[in-house]
Amino acid sequence: MIDEISIRGLGVIHDATLPLGPGFTALTGETGAGKTMVVTALGLLLGSRADSGAVRLGADQAVVEGRWRIDPAGAVADRVRDAGGDIDADELILSRSLSSEGRSRAVVGGRSAPVGVLTELGEQLVVVHGQSDQLRLKSATAQREALDRFAGPELQAVLGDYADVHRRWLEARADLETLVAHRDARVREAEELRLALDEIEAAAPQRGEDDDLVARADRLANVEDLRLAAAQAHELLSSESVDDGRDALSLIEAARRAVDRVAGHDAELQPIVEAIANAGYVLSEAAMQLSGYVDSLDSDGGRELETVQERRAELAALVRKHGESLDDVIDLLERGSARLLELDQDDARIEQLRASVDADLERLTELADRLSALRRAAAERLGDAVTAELAALAMPNARLTVEVSARDEFTATGRDDVAILLQPHGGAEPRPVSKGASGGELSRVMLALEVVIAATDPVPTFIFDEVDAGVGGASAIEIGRRLARLAESAQVIVVTHLAQVAAFATNHLRVVKGDDGEVTASSVQQLDGDERIAEMARLLSGLPDSESGLAHARELLDLAKERARA
369-418 per-position pLDDT tens digit: 999 999 999 999 999 999 998 887 878 889 999 999 999 899 999 999 99
Q: Which whole-number Å values give the CA distances from 316 to 29, 56, 214, 372, 445, in the listed order?
A: 85, 72, 12, 67, 79
Helix (H) or strand (E) holding 476: helix 473-486
Q: Residue 27 domain-assigned?
A: no
Q: Residue 193 domain-assigned?
A: yes
Per-residue pLDDT at 304 exceeds 80? no
Q: Which whole-number Å values give the CA distances from 214 to 208, 217, 224, 343, 402, in the listed order?
A: 10, 5, 18, 37, 83
DSSP per-residue string spanning 497-546 = S-HHHHTT-SEEEEEEEEE-SS-EEEEEEEE-HHHHHHHHHHHHHS-TT-
Q: Residue 256 domain-assigned?
A: yes
Q: Residue 316 domain-assigned?
A: yes
Q: Which of 537, 147, 170, 553 is nearest to 381 (CA)?
A: 147
Q: Residue 253 domain-assigned?
A: yes
Residue 307 has a pLDDT of 82
Q: Residue 295 domain-assigned?
A: yes
Length of the chain: 566
Number of independent structural domains in the chain: 1
Residue 339 structural domain: 188-344
pLDDT > 90: what percent of the chain?
Answer: 22
- When the pLDDT of each residue in the chain is averaged and rounded to a whole number, the result is 83
- Collapsing DSSP to helix, strand or coil, 360 comes out as helix
Task: Give the pTM.
Answer: 0.63
Q: Which of 414, 474, 422, 418 is nearest to 448 (CA)?
A: 422
For the stretch 416-458, pLDDT in tens is: 999 999 998 877 888 888 776 777 777 788 888 888 888 777 7
Q: Residue 297 domain-assigned?
A: yes
Q: Residue 409 domain-assigned?
A: no
Distance of CA 383 to the CA centre of its chain: 37
